[in-house]
Amino acid sequence: MTTETKIIIGVVIATVIILGGGIWFLNIQGAKDQAKLNQPLIGEAIASQGANHVPESTKEEYSTNPPTSGPHYANSQPAGIYDKPIPDGNLIHSMEHGAVILWYKPSSGTDNQVTEGTESAKTNGLSEQDIDRLKQIFGSVSVSKKIMIPRDSLDVPIALTSWGRLLKLQTIDEDRIKTFMETNEDRGPEKAPL
């Protein structure tokens, strides 16, 4: 057998192995995606308020706090942890693209010794220690379309939203937070990047 024939056979074998591995990987990924889609969404179902684009800075009224759908701005908010509020219009667009949002009520600063789960936490918000714990939980969830953000107007210490879904929590419940984020992420009406 000539060297040229050996090279051709080697290239053919390598191509078959690469194609076979790619097909196998896509089948495994497709099965995971299908299993996720077969799971019911987590949280209270909220009727859609539509998905119209409105000009930046337009003030809208939403049926829930925090909102789960409705008129929104043309730009979505990138994934990440934010320490300052972001306009609802950008966040709703992110949910339309499949983002899950972990909202928290920060401490009002009147009580520096707020203990998570207490009446003080429910009215005054979460302590810095509890916010750090939420950030650790948020970081441990292996989904890419996720946002964590403060919201002073929450009527609970913690809320999670995805398109058309809302889960409110009185305490930090790591299992429920992770389950919501893993189940509801990337299940918005548009399959688009943030």
With beta carbons less than 8 A apart as the criterion, state whether 74 and 81 touch: no
Using one digit for the tens of pLDDT, what is the confidence trace for 131-166? 999 999 999 999 999 999 999 999 999 999 999 999
**pTM, full prediction:** 0.79
Q: CB of 159 within 8 A of CB of 103?
A: yes
Write out pLDDT tens, residues 25-55.
766 665 566 566 678 999 999 999 999 999 9
Q: Which residues pair with 167 in a beta bridge?
A: 160
Give the model confidence (pLDDT) of 57-107 as tens digits: 899 999 999 999 999 999 999 999 999 999 999 999 999 999 999 999 999
